[in-house]
Amino acid sequence: MSKQRKAVALISGGLDSLLAAKVMLEQGVHVEGINFFTGFCVEGHTHAIRKKDKAKPKRNNALWSAEQLGIKLHIIDVIEEYKDVLLNPKHGYGQNMNPCLDCKGFMVKKAVEWIKENDFDFIITGEVIGQRPMSQRKETMPIVQRESGAGDLLLRPLCAKNLPETLPEREGWVDREKLLDFSGRTRKPQMALAEQYGFKEYASPAGGCCFLTDKNYSDKLVDMWQHRSSRDYELDDIMMLKVGRHIRPNDNFKMIVGREQGENKFMEGYRKIYPYIHCSSHKGPLVLLDGELNDSDVELAARIAARFGQGRDADEVEMSVTYPDGKNTVLKVKPMPADEISEAWYV
Amino acid sequence: MKHTLDAKRLLCPMPVIRTQDRIKSLSPGDVLEVVCTDPGALNDVPAWCRINGHKVLDTKTVDDEVFIMIEVRDDGEQA
Ligand code: SF4
């Protein structure tokens, strides 16, 4: 009997990568999954932060996919390396701050390294020609292959019949006849195949696999970059963009206002990094301050923060301001009237 | 041997990644207790263990902290 070949599948948590891996398993290939955590992935943690989502089951879709397939999953932290992909994408951004084509190339390149280290034979992805306007077009397929260094070790089982033969096909490790010929934006063939394999409750993210395809998120990211001397970022920075209302009353600082208990709780973890305000005379949210603030900025922030607490209609409230070094002051302020809070301040 | 992994304040999937990377350096039979604050870890860490062949001995939540006790098994992480 010929040697069982081993493929690593890029598992995003979406339906296409699930199906691509399944198609390979059906051909008797040994498949393991690999999933990259860039820091921007849409995953369970935002549900964990926001309490209102607590009723929904929290699950990591990549883990869920692997479990459906009965394969191992390796999750790889690429936060640091990903910075260069996001900050300097050779092929630019998509509709928002999503550098999809560079991102694909980067992930496949990481997979190439992985198969070398782990003695696997080839790589599969759930890409489909024409599925996504930027990164999954007929012209981009060879770009990913070339720039990742994967060459013909990269097989896309869902649209392989529309692409030139790859090494696994030529060598007979997989049967090209049993691969698929999906193309275009339609999801119908995927849904039919999911049905055939009995996959239910699979995730179907509308935009893409990460927050960078989200307009609100991208706006906050761009605002952060515009107001800092460098575009570099840490994981904490990009996490904070997922939480709270972001209000920028002045160029030199931004306020992050917790929207409900889950967010307040999460933000408490950042009190040693950012100065924060909370109302000591009434109930109210936790407010983190990001930037360099002078005394009048702090007072302005305190008045705005007071607007979001239960003392919003009081003549005066006490706002406690605490700095990361533990220094604390209490300000007595009048909450800012709603009509004085400019719409333009909301990031 | 019993080991502890502090994954507090990390959001999923970071606790899973830390668990996975830590288990790579442990031997079959070792026990790892993972402590997290993201309740999502209560689903994700056991899911990762099931997939990769390790055994979850116990999970509990005390005061917003999640404790997951894992026995490292042989067939995990060979790839
Ligand atoms: S949506 Fe995000 S993770 Fe997916 S390819 Fe685009 S940039 Fe990469």
Q: What value of ipTM does the predicted structure carry?
A: 0.91
Q: Is the pLDDT of residue A48 over 60?
A: no
Check if A224 has its Cβ closer than 6 Å to any atom of ligand 1.
no
Do the domain assignments include residue B77?
no
**Whole-number pLDDT of residue A1:** 59
**Cα–Cα distances in Å, from A220 out to A305, A308, B1?**
19, 20, 46
| DSSP states of A256-292 | EE--SHHHHHHHHTTTTTS-EEEESSS----EEEEE-
Q: How long is chain A?
A: 347
Q: How far, in Å, CA of A127 to CA of A133, rounded?
A: 12
Do the domain assignments include residue B43?
yes
Q: What is the pLDDT of residues A101-140, one digit of tens each?
A: 999 999 999 999 999 999 999 999 999 998 887 778 888 9
Do the domain assignments include residue B35?
yes
Chain A, chain B: beta-carbon pairs less than 8 Å apart: 78
| DSSP states of A41-57 | B--HHHHHH-GGGTTSP
CATH architecture of A6-212: 3-Layer(aba) Sandwich (3.40)
Do the domain assignments include residue B53?
yes
Residues of chain B above pLDDT 70, percent: 94
B39/A58 touch (CB, cutoff 8 Å), yes or no: yes
Pairing of strands A30-37, A276-279: unpaired
Q: Which residues of A103-129 are buried (b: 16+ CB within 10 A; e: fewer)?
A: bbbbbbbbbbebbeeeebbbbbbbbbb
Do the domain assignments include residue B57?
yes
Residue in A37, A45, A63 closest to B48 by CB:
A63
Interface of A with B in 75-94 (CB under 8 A): 75-77
Set of chain A residues whose Cβ sits within 8 Å of the Cβ of B79: 32, 72, 74, 118, 120
Q: What is the pLDDT of residues B17-40, one digit of tens each?
A: 999 999 999 999 999 999 998 888
Q: How far, in Å, CA of A227 to CA of A247, rounded?
A: 13
**Whole-number pLDDT of residue B79:** 42
**Whole-number pLDDT of residue A137:** 86
Do the domain assignments include residue B26?
yes
**Cα–Cα distances in Å, from A304 out to A286, A297, A309, A317, A325?**
12, 11, 10, 12, 23
- How many domains does the structure of chain B reveal? 1
Q: Where in chain A is the domain with CATH 3.40.50.620?
A: 6-212
Which residue on chain B is closest to A48 by alpha carbon? B40
Cα angle for residues A185, A190, A192 (degrees, 5° grid): 125
A48/B39 touch (CB, cutoff 8 Å), yes or no: yes
Q: For all residues of chain B together, what is the average pLDDT?
A: 91
User: Which band of pLDDT confidence, cut at 50, 70 and 90, is reported for residue B9?
Assistant: confident
- pTM for this model (two decimals): 0.90
**Whole domain around residue B28: which residue ranges?**
2-71
How many angstroms separate the most distant Cα atoms in chain B?
37
Which residues have C-beta within 8 Å of that of residue A221, sequence separation ≥ 6?
A97, A212, A238, A241
Q: How long is chain B?
A: 79
Pairing of strands A287-291, A154-155: unpaired
Q: How far, in Å, CA of A72 to CA of A95, rounded?
A: 34
CATH number at residue B62: 3.30.110.40
| Mean pLDDT for the stretch of residues A50-64 | 70
User: Which band of pLDDT confidence, cut at 50, 70 and 90, is reported for residue A37?
Assistant: very high
Do the domain assignments include residue B46?
yes
| Run of H or E residues at A297 | helix A295-307
